[in-house]
Structure 1
Amino acid sequence: MDYGKLISKAFQGRKNAYAPYSGFKVGASVLTEDGDIYTGCNIENASYGATNCAERTAIFKAVSEGHEAVRAIAIAGAENNYTWPCGICRQVMAEFALPDMKIILAKNEKEYIVKTLNEILPGAFTKKDLS
């Protein structure tokens, strides 16, 4: 898996962030099971509650194009710091993650850490819990 390409795409997505209220820009890129890559950015709203995170934007773009299995996601947020996904984004990841999905937290294009969904969301509530 080419982490560098996903990280680069996440930083490209961050450039499109609409963050006039917080100034906190985040970009994300997802790699689908089929090898397609979709980017996303955070999109704020004056009502705050209608704001959407970069991770969910990227995942929703992939799902809207017919992909329901995510192999990896890269997240680029605060400059020279790791930006972790919020709880809602973690739950959305749980819905569409392949069992071995990688979460790549990028400080910059060369420094990053890789986690699994189970590491950042142990005991996730999933569709298996509904049966």
Structure 2
Amino acid sequence: TSKDNVACCSIVGILHECISPRLTKVKTKSTKNNNKNLIKAHSRATIMQLIQSGGTQVLIKLLTNSQHGDTLMTEVIAQEVLWILGQIAQKDQKFVTKVKLLNATKVFHTLLKMHYNDPRMLLPLLLIFKSFSKN
């Protein structure tokens, strides 16, 4: 975890783009479905690679550390990290135990209290709480 918010924001933005790449415009319908399936497979593979390399813990620590700042950059980092963690929470079977080990459960509760009206933050938070409720 770095104290440089610009670097963190850039890295998290790149991870976001790797997990949710955009479809390019293709003229034929048969290749469009193949491209869509291929992109989904790459997205799943990226999430699994992130989970296996310990990215879940790093992102949770980054989210916890970003709560101490009040700048616009920390808000952007929190939004991007929450979106990525929402995607990871759906795939990682040990997500809840990782959150508990890092004592970050209260961070998610605080974020939900602060951003219950913000749709960009609410969906990832609900996905995370859905995984909490399963365990």
More helix by share: 2
Say whether the fold is shared (TM-score over 0.5). Answer: no
The TM-score bracket by the shorter chain reads: 0.3 to 0.5
- Compute the TM-score of the two structures, normalised by the length of structure 2: 0.34
**Bigger RCO of structures 1 and 2 (CA < 8 A, at least 6 apart):** 2
More strand by share: 1
Q: Determine which structure has more spread, i.e. the larger CA radius of gyration.
A: 2
